[in-house]
A = this chain, B = another copy of it.
Amino acid sequence: MKLALLLLATAVLAQQPPVRILIAYHSETGNTEKMAQAIRKGAASVEGVEVTLRKTADVKDQEILQADGIVVGTPVQWSNVSAETKRFLDRVGAVLWKAKTNGDGRTAGAFCTGGAVAMGKDVARLSILSALLTMRFTVIGGVDDSGFGTLGPEATTGPADPGVSDKEQEEARNFGERFAKMTRQLRTAR
Q: Residues on A close to B: CB < 8 A?
A: 5, 8, 12, 77-83, 86-87, 89-90, 93, 102-103, 114-123, 126-127, 129-131, 133-141, 143-144, 146-151, 154, 156, 158-159, 182, 185-186, 188-190
Q: Are B90 and A83 in contact (CB under 8 A)?
A: yes
Q: A130-B79, A149-B136 are in contact. Are A156 and B122 (CB under 8 A)?
A: no
Copies of this chain assembled into the complex: 4
Q: A83-B83, A102-B149 are in contact. Are A116 and B136 (CB under 8 A)?
A: no
Q: How far is the CA of A147 from the CA of B82 in the complex (A)?
A: 20
Report the minimum CB–CB distance from A183 to chain B (whole Å): 11
Partner of A79, one of B5, B133, B147: B133
Partner of A120, one of B12, B116, B130, B139: B130
Partner of A156, one of B118, B119, B154: B118
Report the minimum CB–CB distance from A18 to chain B (whole Å): 16
Q: A83-B87, A127-B80 are in contact. Are A150 and B121 (CB under 8 A)?
A: no
Partner of A130, one of B123, B133, B144, B158: B123
Q: Are A79 and B131 in contact (CB under 8 A)?
A: yes
Report the minimum CB–CB distance from A71 to chain B (whole Å): 14
Which partner residue on chain B sits nearest A148 by CB separation? Answer: B134
Which partner residue on chain B sits nearest A114 by CB separation? Answer: B118
> A143 contacts which chain B residues (CB < 8 A)?
136
> A127 contacts which chain B residues (CB < 8 A)?
79-80, 123, 127
